[in-house]
Amino acid sequence: MAVAPRINVGDDYKEKYGFFDPENYVFKAKRGLSPEIIQEISWMKQEPEWMAKLRLRALDIFRKKPMPTWGADLSKIDFENIFYYLKSSEKQSTSWEDVPDDIKRTFDRLGVPQAERKFLAGVAAQYESEVVYHSLHKDLEKKGVLFLDTDSGLRDHPELFQEYFGTVIPAADNKFAALNTAAWSGGSFIYVPKGVKVDIPLQAYFRINAENMGQFERTLIICDEDSFVHYIEGCTAPIYTTDSLHSAVVEIIVKKGARCRYTTIQNWSTNVYNLVTKRALAYEGATMEWVDGNLGSAVTMKYPSVYLMEPGAKGDVLSIAFAGKGQHQDAGAKMVHAAPNTTSTITSKSISKAGGRTSYRGLVKVQPGSSHVKSFVKCDALLLDDQSISDTYPYIECDESEVTIGHEATVSKVSDEQLFYLMSRGISQVEAETMIVNGFIEPFTKELPLEYAVELNRLIQLEMEGSVG
Amino acid sequence: MADFEIKDLRVGVEGREILKGVSLQVNRGEVHAVMGPNGSGKSTLSNALMGHPSYQVLGGEVLLNGQSLLELQPDQRARLGLYLAFQYPIVVPGVTMANFLRTALNAQRGYDGKDKAKAIGPKEFRELLAEPMNTLRIDKSFLSRYVNEGFSGGEKKRAEILQMAVLRPTMALLDETDSGLDIDSIKYVSESINSMRGGELGILIITHYTRILKFIQPDYVHVLVNGQVVRSGGSEVADQLENTGYSEWVDEPAAAAAVAEEV
């Protein structure tokens, strides 16, 4: 049998996503983690005393907590060989012209300014550990919406910041939350006032660009009563040969009647450890939606969660994971029903290829007294070959009798019949497989803004083409 | 040499020989019918010609416009002008008919995602679809539905013929296209096929029953029994079969009725 024409996209991929600029950092902390380095970071940022103390306490917790023994293999992370802080330009820029040239080149290739020209309300692009480019649409400012990098949030709005920071995910929550609390830098800080609906998505681009650099961004979003915001975070990282660590913390508070949607598309290079804690508190009648796409990285452990605190609260997690050769995507969701009449849905779709492994790990917890809870979990896995692996760990802890919990899981393979059908129309095998995969994740893609949907389909295409032959 | 030639084709499935040396010749402009009882190898013939991986070619040759097909992948055969209307069209969840049709057209034009000039434009795409969709009575909303998902039997078969009309093959294999069709659908489908027949297009209708041949008159009819062509002739062969069924070759009670009517 003849072989479908081989398309070599390795070089192209590197060009598009794996480029890197010569390092040119104003400040670069030493490798490794110590109280001195933490103090230095805090001093560099001119932070208030309470934050410096919190960081040091968190470092202590980080050191005492053992590595998690469940989930993915994390034994190869060498914490002493990581840069915990870099600052790539001294002051933040507010217009595109002020952004340094090499950084601009990176963003140009990622399409940030184009994106902004189209319909962005604000762009906060994180380059290394500090937000260098940041703009916010004028009418949002007038409505009192705050959209800053987290460092500026701490500096400019100290009371608001201190009231909420670390309340959703305290440092002691888990080892990596402690690490983030100790070393955090950058991220987004958003406040949406009562009754304000932000009708265009707020977006941030993140990148890691220094070898062995940890990125510990910290995002805090507060949606006041009856407000709405959609925040989008996209990540691509250059290809490097030594391991990188990304350990973010995202805290969200959704107050009475408010709705927050948080969309992430991540495409870390395949040497990155991506260990993220994301959690939201949803109050009376509030809705929290996580839309979470995980491509790339060596290991991802990420379980966006919603704590449904008061009656009528609603939580949604819609996620996809794509694991290729040597990758393990351990992703899922957590829903904690802490009040009656709360509802949650989890939809997880995973794709494994070329020996990659995807794991769904999810928890639905119903606390005593939370009657009339409804929860539905659906996990679908698609395997592209016989070497690839998918496993499912759905946990349900229920301390209440009047609840409705549904769970549905499917594992399927790309079928010969589907491939034959598409190929009989002249479509090549790679393209046919790509179509099947993109069709499989369509319920996810259709929730994305158009340009992200297009980008995601293209990323899938690159992933699929990478293994032809 | 004929435009489409099947020479002594032998095909096996799971180690069992199903086609035991089939030879047929179809020229452009002609409509041929291959008729046969259950188990005669009709589906094996259509699948093997298109290149389904589960069917092993044991011998013989298939040429389209002088080009040998049997070493080629299904997509390569399609791009050379071969088309198969499936007996059981396959569901592809999440992929819209519009996306599917556009991708297939672009593949045919050699568009690989780079040279935008080769890709079909939105206006041309709409124009290409307008007439066949009208003939087949296919509503516009159909294009945003997922490939064959939730389609009725009639919708599936009409969709197969729509794809054929859009891709404009030079050799079309129609595998049991009338099965599962209500009387309206069979009219629309035949109307569409008849509008394409002649010219550059060769057609091979593969069917158990004579019903579709009343709507699409074949120029030649071949009878396939037990993996071999046992009779070839003009449309009168179909008429005879309608009276006698396949009883001449196989033990099939009430065979005549079974050929004339769809169960």
DSSP secondary structure, A207-242, as one string? E--STTBEE--EEEEEE-TT-EEEEEEEEE----SS
* SS3 call for A146: strand
E-assigned strand segments in A45-129 = 86-87, 122-127
Residue with tokens 């709507």: B215
- Closest partner CB to A426 (pick from B86, B107, B113): B107
Contact B92 A4 (CB under 8 A): no
Residue B222's DSSP bridge partners are: B34, B232
Written as tens digits, the pLDDT of chain B (263 aa) is: 899 999 999 999 998 999 999 999 999 999 999 999 988 999 999 999 999 999 999 999 999 999 999 999 999 999 999 999 999 999 999 999 999 999 999 999 988 767 778 889 889 999 999 999 999 999 999 999 999 999 999 999 999 999 999 999 999 999 999 888 888 899 999 999 999 998 899 999 999 988 999 999 999 999 999 999 999 999 999 988 888 888 888 775 544 445 554 43
E strand or H helix at A82? none
What would the pLDDT profile of A152-178 be if each residue is shown by its tens digit? 899 999 999 999 999 999 999 999 999
B80 and chain A in contact, CB less than 8 A: no
User: Are B49 and B86 a contacting pair, CB within 8 Å?
Assistant: no
A-B C-beta contacts closer than 8 Å: 90
Contact A438 B95 (CB under 8 A): yes
B113 and chain A in contact, CB less than 8 A: yes
The number of angstroms, rounded, from the C-alpha of A4 to the middle of its chain's C-alpha atoms is 35
Residue A131's identity, in one-letter code, is: V
The 3-class secondary structure across chain B, one letter per residue, is CCCEEEEEEEEEECCEEEEEEEEEEECCCCEEEEECCCCCCHHHHHHHHHCCCCEEEEEEEEEECCEECCCCCHHHHHHCCEEEECCCCCCEEEEEHHHHHHHHHHHHCCCCCCCHHHCCCHHHHHHHHHHHHHHCCCCHHHHHCEECCCCCHHHHHHHHHHHHHHHCCCEEEEECCCCCCCHHHHHHHHHHHHHHCECCEEEEEEECCCHHHHHCCCCEEEEEECCEEEEEECCHHHHHHHHHCCCCCCCCCCHHHHHHCCC
Q: List the structure tokens of B93.
A: 């969840």
E-assigned strand segments in A269-313 = 272-282, 287-296, 299-302, 305-308
Tell me the nearest-neighbour CA distance from B96 into chain A, angstroms. 8
Contact A424 B75 (CB under 8 A): yes
Contact B84 A431 (CB under 8 A): no
Contact B75 A427 (CB under 8 A): yes
Question: Distance between CA B240 and CA B246 in Å, rounded?
Answer: 10
Question: Distance between CA A371 and CA A369 in Å, rounded?
Answer: 6
The model's pTM: 0.83
Short-list A335, A447, A325, A333, CA closest to A379: A333
Structural domains in chain B, CATH included, are 4-258 (3.40.50.300)
Residues of chain A with C-beta less than 8 angstroms from the C-beta of B93: 439-440, 442
Short-list A234, A241, A281, A243, CA closest to A260: A281
* SS3 call for A467: coil
Residues in A lying within 8 Å of B, measured between beta carbons: 1-2, 4, 7, 416-418, 420-429, 431-432, 435-436, 438-443, 461
Residues of chain B with C-beta less than 8 angstroms from the C-beta of A453: none
Mutate to test the interface with A, among B92, B111, B118, B175 (most CBs of A within 10 A): B92
Q: What is the pLDDT of residue A20?
A: 56
- Closest partner CB to A440 (pick from B93, B103, B113): B93
Residue ranges in chain A modelled with pLDDT below 70: 1-29, 86-138, 205-214, 235-243, 466-469
What would the pLDDT profile of A231-240 be if each residue is shown by its tens digit? 988 765 555 5
Residue A264's DSSP bridge partners are: A233, A292
Which positions ≥6 away from B179 have C-beta within 8 Å?
B87, B153, B208, B209, B262
Q: What is the pLDDT of residue A122?
A: 36
E strand or H helix at A435? helix A429-440
Contact A428 B75 (CB under 8 A): yes
Strand duo A130-136 + A214-215: pairing: unpaired
Question: Distance between CA A371 and CA A344 in Å, rounded?
Answer: 14
User: Are A110 and A63 a contacting pair, CB within 8 Å?
Assistant: no
Short-list A388, A264, A240, A255, CA closest to A318: A264
Residues of chain A with C-beta less than 8 angstroms from the C-beta of B91: 418
The interface predicted TM-score (ipTM) is: 0.95
Question: The dihedral of CA A354, A356, A359, A360: what is its sign?
Answer: negative
Compute φ and ψ for B213, nearest 5 degrees. -75, -15
Question: The dihedral of CA A31, A36, A38, A40: what is its sign?
Answer: negative
Mutate to test the interface with B, among A424, A430, A448 (most CBs of B within 10 A): A424
Question: Distance between CA B106 and CA B171 in Å, rounded?
Answer: 19
Contact A424 B78 (CB under 8 A): yes
HSE-up (13 A, CA, CB side) for residue A64: 10
